Amino acid sequence: MAANETTVKLDRVTKSFGEFTAVSELSLDVRAGRVFGLLGPNGAGKTTTIRMIVNITAPDSGTILLFGRKINPGLQDRIGYLPEERGLYKKMRVADQLRFFAEIKNMRGKQVETKIDDWLARVKLSDWKTKRASELSKGMQQKIQFVTAVIHDPDVLILDEPFSGLDPVNVELMKEIVLDLKRAGKTIIFSTHQMEVAEKICDDICLLNRSRKVFEGSLREIKKSFGRNSVAVRCEGGDGVLDDPALVSKLVRHADEAQALLAPGANAQTLLKRLIDSGAVIGKFEMVEPSLNDIFITKVTEPA
């Protein structure tokens, strides 16, 4: 698959439920072999968009193309979908469960057993193969759910909040697996409202807010376009300087440091000088890229 080929294409897609418009005039291009982040706060329309891509609901207007073709039940088998609302058959054994999900995607025969063993080894749950789902811990169930979405070797993988409920060790493990899949040429649509997670694995992003697209493009480019106008500061004293609206338009205090977004026209050098002049003891002063979260907030609050 060529690197820039479009796998999933949405063209002016609209979907409403009664009075409520969930997705309005949304156009997207998801390119093959990349991780595409579908981002936005709760209720922005992410899940509805995904459901239209996997053919659970149909759009009211607009078209959705998958591999250049209109979505149909046959194409569904090439998608792996991990919904936000997910679960397992409680009384079914792990292997039976995975076999069922492979067969329901039309994968049959010996390769299913090989896949089951491979994936269980990859998520480090080989010992649990014959256990019932109800005997697994929550985190283990999460990993098995992830495997149900990829067991049939899909070309497109759609993950809706895949890391919620996982401990940091397992988040790392799953992130590695997602990146491996990307390297294997799979297209991955990654939906989340946790910007920090998206920031680490997405190549392209689309920001949704209140059913509309706010921004779409590569993460690199958007960050570059925002420039380095943010400063991470750790200092004692100097509060009056950081609170000066002429210098800092927004200040976010973390546990032991603060992030200051420079006011338009202000300059980091000036800020540093003013801090020193005010007698503050500076432990850290670093120019940083704006976080995706900052970009999102700026974009959403920006007058259209």
Partner 1 sequence: MKKFFTVVKREYIQRVRAKMFIVSTVLLPLVMSLFIAVPAIIVSIKTPPMRVAVVDQTGRMYPQLRQALFGDDSDQDPQNANTGAAGAGARRNLNRFVLEEVNATNDPLDQIRSNLDERLRDRSLEGYLILEPDFFTTGKAEFINRIPGDMFSVQMLQSAINRAAREQRLIDAKVDTKTRQDLLKPVQLQSIKTGTRGQAADTSSTFALVFGIGFVMYLAILMYGQIILGAVIEEKETRIAEILFSSVRPYALMMGKLVGVSLVALTQLTIWGLAFSLLALYGVGVLASQGLPANIPTLPFLHYIYFALFFLLGYFIYGTIYALVGSMVTTAQEGGQLAMPIILILVVSFYLFWPVSRAPDSPFSFWVSMIPFSAPVAMLVRIVTQTPPFWQIALSLLIGFGSVLVIMWIAARIYRVGMLMYGKRASIPEAVRWARQA
User: Residues touching partner 1: how many (CB under 8 A)?
Assistant: 30
Residue with tokens 């493990």: 173
> Is residue 77 part of the contact set for partner 1 (CB under 8 A)?
yes
- Looking only at residues 43 through 72 of this chain, which bind partner 1 when binding is defined by CB under 8 A? 51, 54-57
> Is residue 81 part of the contact set for partner 1 (CB under 8 A)?
yes
Q: Which is closer to partner 1, CB of 70 or CB of 224?
A: 70
Q: Is 39 helix (H, G, I), strand (E, B) or coil?
A: strand
Closest CB 255 distance from partner 1, rounded Å: 36
Pairing of strands 230-236, 281-288: antiparallel
Q: What whole-number distance in Å separates Cα of residue 109 and Cα of residue 102?
A: 10
C-beta atoms surrounding 272 within 10 Å = 16
Closest CB 9 distance from partner 1, rounded Å: 19
93 by Cβ neighbours in 10 Å (0-12 / 13-18 / 19+) ranks as: middle
Q: Which is closer to partner 1, CB of 148 or CB of 259?
A: 148
> Is residue 12 part of the contact set for partner 1 (CB under 8 A)?
no
C-beta atoms surrounding 11 within 10 Å = 15
Q: Which is closer to partner 1, CB of 190 or CB of 296?
A: 190
Closest CB 188 distance from partner 1, rounded Å: 15
> Is residue 86 part of the contact set for partner 1 (CB under 8 A)?
yes
Q: Look at the alpha carbons of 233, 239, 240, 244 in this order and tell me if their dihedral is positive or negative.
A: positive
Among 4, 89, 165, 217, binds partner 1 (CB under 8 A): 89
> Is residue 105 part of the contact set for partner 1 (CB under 8 A)?
yes
Pairing of strands 187-192, 6-17: unpaired
